[in-house]
Amino acid sequence: MTEVSVIVRVPPTTDSHGDRVTTLAHEFDTFVRSRTPALLRSAYLLTGDQHLAEDLVQTALARTHRQWRKLHEVGNAEAYTRKTMYHLQVSWWRKRRVAESLPGDMPERPANDSSSATALKLTLRQALLRLTDKQRAVLVLRYFDDHTEAETAELLGVSLGTVKSQTAKALARLRLVAPELAHLGGTR
């Protein structure tokens, strides 16, 4: 994945606490600089496209900026940003409803090919794109972002049972569409 810089312009604001506004702007800037790479990785897994991932992060950060005063006070800016990303992705997907064309089978690779990691990434990407957005979001939150089932349910605004059922359905679907990934999952 390529390095991407996200630019968020903080509009000048004034209030009776001039220093506080500067501090909040600096803290938001620090948040953006430190968390953008991780947010982009998650966004890429959600969207399957680098440019859509960048748009998703940019939009989520813009919404986070609008709520920064409140988020700063309670200290959950990253959770808010990630939840915003997941909801935006589902919203964008519903609006698009464009049929994706998935290529056929991966071409056979030569025996001396050292690009097995790249092939694995492409296979995983294709397999993830064959899941529903909710299933993909659950898998990304649970296994990539390493959230618990309860945290995943809270971030997505769904019940714990929904997280469990969507995880089971997504893993079953992955086993069906990409059996070559079975060695990654452990014993099952």
Structure-model confidence comparison of residues 39 and 116, the more confident one? 39
**Gyration radius of the chain over CA positions:** 19
pTM of whole model > 0.95? no
Structure-model confidence comparison of residues 157 and 184, the more confident one? 157
- Model confidence at 1: pLDDT above 50: no
Torsion angle (degrees, nearest 10) of CA 68, 69, 72, 73: -150
pLDDT in tens, 129-177: 888 888 988 988 898 888 999 999 888 888 999 999 999 999 899 888 8
Contacts with 8 (C-beta within 8 Å, 6 or more apart), sequence order:
28, 29, 32, 58, 61, 62, 65
The token duo for 161 is: 């049972």
Contacts with 68 (C-beta within 8 Å, 6 or more apart), sequence order:
24, 27, 28, 77
Structure-model confidence comparison of residues 127 and 8, the more confident one? 127
- Residue 48 φ/ψ, nearest 5 degrees: 75, 10
